[in-house]
């Protein structure tokens, strides 16, 4: 046992935000991965940068509370995503994640989840912050990983600081406080990973 291993309440950031690593929180993660991969309505993402729209091999599902008025539609990178009602397994994971956060004193009730599917290590996500106005001030964003282990990097927007994590299947992290204001994060690409990964990023969206 590593007596100096980070504890769930430890802040992984040196300043300007809070990131907690809650460790492995799921047991039967392989079955959940296969279920979500086969049952969810995955679609390629569209990202517009510098006026040019790109269609990604990374696929997404925007999921959450059913709203007939469309108030939980989510916009980023120049495009709006319509919401899909909760899949029962994702809703079960949501409740588990909320319980795990409550254990470290973070009380939250998420109403949405952005799921990303990375088919191989060649698929990644560039540096960005989840700082859209719909997420409110100091958003709490919990991310659960399934499938292949991938490198996750946080980089301060002004200072020369980086924090690197290798997220394993079943692992849960939470970003909160001023993290989105001062830090960007990325899932780096790699040629050494051929397996897929699904991330479930739970958040609270304000209409």
- Per-position pLDDT tens, the chain of length 207: 455 567 888 999 999 999 999 999 998 889 999 999 999 999 988 665 556 666 778 999 999 997 644 455 555 555 566 789 999 999 999 999 999 999 999 999 999 999 999 999 999 999 999 999 999 999 999 999 999 999 999 999 999 999 999 999 999 999 999 999 999 999 999 999 999 999 999 999 987
Q: Are 49 and 42 in contact (CB under 8 A)?
A: no
Long-range (24+ apart) CB contacts under 8 A made by 126-129 are 126/186, 127/155, 127/184, 127/185, 127/186, 128/184, 128/185, 128/186, 129/157, 129/180, 129/181, 129/183, 129/184, 129/185
Domain boundaries, the chain: 18-203
Residue 1: the pLDDT is: 45
**Helix (H/G/I), strand (E/B), else coil: 198:** strand
Angle at 174 (CA atoms; ends 126, 15), nearest 5 degrees: 80
Reply yes or no on domain 18-203 having CATH 2.60.120.590.
yes
Residue 206: the pLDDT is: 87
Q: What is the pTM of this model?
A: 0.89
- 88-102 vs 29-39: helix crossing angle, rounded to 10: 140
Question: Sign of the C-alpha dihedral, residues 92, 93, 97, 103?
Answer: positive
């Amino acid at each position: 046992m590593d007596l100096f291993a980070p504890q769930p309440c430890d802040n992984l950031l040196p300043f300007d935000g809070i990131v907690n690593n809650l460790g492995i929180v799921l047991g039967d993660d392989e079955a959940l991965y296969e279920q979500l991969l086969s049952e969810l309505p995955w679609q390629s993402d569209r990202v517009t940068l510098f006026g040019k729209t790109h269609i990604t091999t990374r696929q997404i599902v925007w999921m959450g509370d059913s709203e007939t008025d469309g108030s939980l539609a989510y916009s980023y990178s120049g495009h709006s995503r319509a919401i899909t009602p909760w899949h029962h397994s994702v809703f079960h994971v949501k409740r588990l994640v909320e319980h795990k956060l409550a254990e470290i004193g973070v009380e939250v009730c998420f109403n949405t989840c952005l799921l990303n599917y990375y088919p191989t290590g060649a698929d990644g996500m560039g540096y960005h912050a989840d700082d859209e106005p719909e997420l409110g001030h100091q958003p709490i964003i919990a991310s659960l990983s399934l499938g292949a282990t991938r490198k996750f990097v946080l980089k301060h927007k002004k200072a020369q600081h980086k924090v690197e994590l290798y997220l394993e299947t079943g692992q849960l992290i939470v970003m909160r406080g001023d993290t989105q204001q001062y830090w960007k994060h990325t899932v780096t690409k790699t040629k050494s990973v051929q397996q897929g990964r699904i991330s479930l990023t739970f958040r609270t969206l304000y209409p």
